[in-house]
Amino acid sequence: MLLTYARLGSWRWVLLGLTLLVTLYLLLPIVFIVALSFGSSQWMIFPPPGWTLRWYEALAEDPRWLETALTSLEVGVLVAALSVALGLAAAFALVRGRFRGRQVLRLVFLTPMVLPVVIFAVAVYGFYLRLGLNGTLLGFVLAHTVLAFPFAVLTISNALAQFDPSIEDAAILCGASPLAAKWRVTLPNIRLGLISAAIFSFLISWDEVVVAIFMGSPTLQTLPVHIWGMLRQDLSPAVAAASSILVGITLVLMLVAALLTRKSKA
Amino acid sequence: MTDPFLHVDELRMAYGHVTAVDHVSIEIPKGEFLTFLGPSGSGKSTTLYAIAGLLEPTGGDIRLEGRSILKTPPHRRNMGMVFQRYTLFPHLTVAENVAFPLRVRGCPGAEVDAKVKAMLALVRLEKFADRLPAKLSGGQQQRVALARALAYDPPVLLMDEPLSALDKKLREEIQVEIRRIHRETGVTILYVTHDQEEALRLSDRIALFNAGRIEQIGTCADLYARPDSHFVAAFIGDSNFLSGTIESVEGPMASVVLPDGSRRRGTLGRGAKAGPGMTAELMVRPRRIVVADEGLAVRIDDCTFLGDDLVIQAECHWGQELWFRAPLALAGQFTPGTIARVNWAEEDALVFPTHTVQV
């Protein structure tokens, strides 16, 4: 018989407790960070002796925070656009293509997902030294796109595989050119997949720190790298404030992605 | 001789070693309702897809009003098509779906609106104009697909088993609709199905496909009354086959000796090459078999009451089975195990030599 929740008897309290513990373990650090960012103690004492917004003011006063955040945003948006465009092309090849080596190609596309990031970062750093791309916007975008691409390929392939190609054929028979049929019929119907892919790609770039540390220059730095630098210099609650904002943005984007996937299943 | 409206000329489609369509030729006059009937894998859908332009032929030609359309890409062929699967655009409403082919052709808005209205009236779905396809039943979706395929007045409407996903009752309802729409619009329709009943119900003519070739093409009555081959006789309508050996051939008639030594005459299948000594199948429709004083002795296996008449399963003494119908009044005669004599008129028997010369 299947082990269902209803059959567990008193074990269900154990299960409940375990779930609670895991949830707390996952959530508490975030709660602490957010609480500390509003705490008045400079040494991040918990529980905070009083409440203040001055760490957020400190963020606003130091232009480096806004600068690096804008850099991260710029890189993230470009990465999202590029990885969705490439992911869409790759998904068409993988889902619709009937050529030899398709499965191999699929694995190749997914390797950045399993390759240790540090190894990838070192490789990219060495490669970029020759090309002079380290510390440039293009360098950041290309490197992060490699990391985001597998997720875009997976998400868009799934969406495309669920879309009956006969519908595209119908559009063509109706008089739409093959390209127009894809643009006017196929893309609107896999849009949720495209949006999810864009959000995930953005998030991957948005909180990527390893590659960004290798590639960063004094003039071009992403927000996670700046946070990391600040942490090493002095442990100011401003870092907690910046982290809280990051958590907030990520949470909103994840929520949007989750809502979209739910809507697509409904 | 003028070229027919639509001419499929020696069409051939091969994939590697598999020949899906093998030198198929069909001439279709304007306004005809022609059905491609055949078992799955017989090449009927492949032929349809080649006419649509979604598959490329290996050889042969397809001409519309005398001009080859092979070089025309599918989106410029102006063919209407209704697919087996539901292919309405899920993100567009019913009205927008029907408007789609007109919009991609750059028709002015007022014209589009008028046409959409007319088309939805044609398939009687005016009330559903603003619904999304997901909110429609399967039958309604296929009717919208029909409206969409007819919106741009295509010269030919292609239908690839459009009703196979629907239940029987709904299928029959929509068949009536399709007949009516064919009458009202006069559009030439090529309809693919594996359901002989559907083919008989809808078509002016039927092209019966088998293994990539057309076995026979003709009116429904033709195919039923004068099948060219064993395959056609078996596929269209009910049939009994008795094997024997050809004794003699005189013109269109052949005399066959059955295993019990009795002689039976029948009309040879058209184009069949036959000679004495050849093995052959003698075909008789169950409706043409009558119980008589003289004739073939059979042992009754089973007798089923089926409304208007009885259906009787019987066996020849050499083991071959046959079945026939009999009036209810005779019910008492068919106790399983009894021997009955059955007979049929000479003109109701057809002879198909088993060793037909393969081309």
Secondary structure (DSSP) of A71-94:
HHHHHHHHHHHHHHHHHHHHHHHH
Whole domain around residue A141: which residue ranges? 63-265
Query: Which ipTM was obtained for this model?
Result: 0.84
Give the Cα separation of A150 and A158 in Å (integer). Answer: 12
E strands in B169-289: 188-193, 205-210, 213-219, 240-250, 253-257, 263-268, 279-284
| Rounded distance between C-alpha atoms, residue A181 and residue B262, angstroms | 66
- Provide, for chain B, the percentages of residues in helix, strand and coil under a 3-state DSSP scheme, each rounded to the nearest 5: 30, 35, 35
Pick the range with the lowest mean pLDDT from A94-98, A155-159, B1-5, B178-182.
B1-5
pLDDT given for residue A1 in this prediction: 56
CA distances A1 to A4, A11, A13, A23, B268, Å, are 9, 17, 21, 29, 66
Highest mean pLDDT out of A9-18, A229-238, B125-134, B332-341: B125-134
- Does any domain span residue A235? yes
Question: What is the distance between the alpha carbons of residues A68 and A229, in angstroms, rounded to a whole number?
Answer: 12
User: Is A58 contained in some domain?
Assistant: no
Q: Looking at the domain assignment, is residue A104 inside a domain?
A: yes
Here the tokens at position A253 are 């984007």
Q: Tens digits of per-residue pLDDT, A26-77? A: 999 899 889 888 988 887 777 888 888 888 998 888 888 889 999 999 999 9
Q: Is A30 part of any domain?
A: no
What is the predicted pLDDT for the residue at A2? Answer: 66
Partners of B88 on chain A (C-beta within 8 Å) are 167, 170
A205 in any annotated domain: yes
pLDDT at A235 over 90: no
Across residues A197-209, what is the average pLDDT? 93
Better pLDDT: B90 or B17: B90
Give the span between the Cα atoms of B152 and B119, in whole angstroms: 10
Check pLDDT > 80 for residue A5: no
Question: How many inter-chain contacts (A to B, CB under 8 Å) are there?
Answer: 68
Tell which A residues from 146 to 165 touch B, by Cβ distance under 8 Å. Answer: 164
pLDDT in tens, B256-276: 999 888 899 999 988 778 888
Taking residues B59-80, report their average pLDDT: 94
Q: Which two tokens stand for residue A257?
A: 């992605």
* Closest CA–CA distance from residue B220 to any residue of chain A (Å): 30
Interchain proximity A181–B75, CB inside 8 Å:
yes
Residues forming beta bridges with residue A158, ordered by sequence position: none
Side-chain half-sphere exposure of B242, counting CA atoms within 13 A: 32
What predicted TM-score, i.e. pTM, was given to this entire model?
0.83
Q: Which of A8-17, A104-113, A119-128, B150-159 has the lowest mean pLDDT?
A: A8-17
- A-chain residues near B83 (CB < 8 A): 166, 169-170
Please state, rounded to an integer, the average pLDDT across all residues of chain B: 91
SS3 track for B191-213: EEECCHHHHHHHCCEEEEEECCE
Query: By the 8 A CB rule, do A200 and A148 touch?
Result: yes
pLDDT band at B64 (very low <50, low <70, confident <90, very high): very high
| Nearest beta carbon to residue B104 from set A164, A178, A180 | A180
For A96, the 3-state DSSP assignment is helix
> What share of chain B has pLDDT > 70, as a percent?
98
Does residue A210 carry a pLDDT above 80? Answer: yes
Q: Is the pLDDT of residue B330 over 90?
A: no
CATH number, residue A209: 1.10.3720.10
Question: Does residue A41 sit within a domain?
Answer: no
Tell the burial category of B216 from Cβ atoms under 10 Å away from its Cβ (0-12, 13-18, 19+). buried
**Position B122 confidence tier, pLDDT thresholds 50, 70, 90:** very high
A13: in domain: no
**Count: domains in chain A:** 1
pLDDT value for A263: 66
Asked if residue A27 belongs to a domain, the reply is no
Is residue A147 scored above 60 in pLDDT?
A: yes
Distance, C-alpha B65 to centroid of its chain: 25
> For residue B12, which amino acid is it?
R
Q: Edge-to-edge strands of the sheet including B156-160?
A: B80-82, B156-160, B188-193, B33-37, B205-210, B213-219
Pairwise CB contact (< 8 Å): B87 & A169: yes
Cis peptide before B39 (omega within 30 of 0): no
Query: What tokens were used for A59?
Result: 């963020």
The identity of residue B306, as a single letter, is L
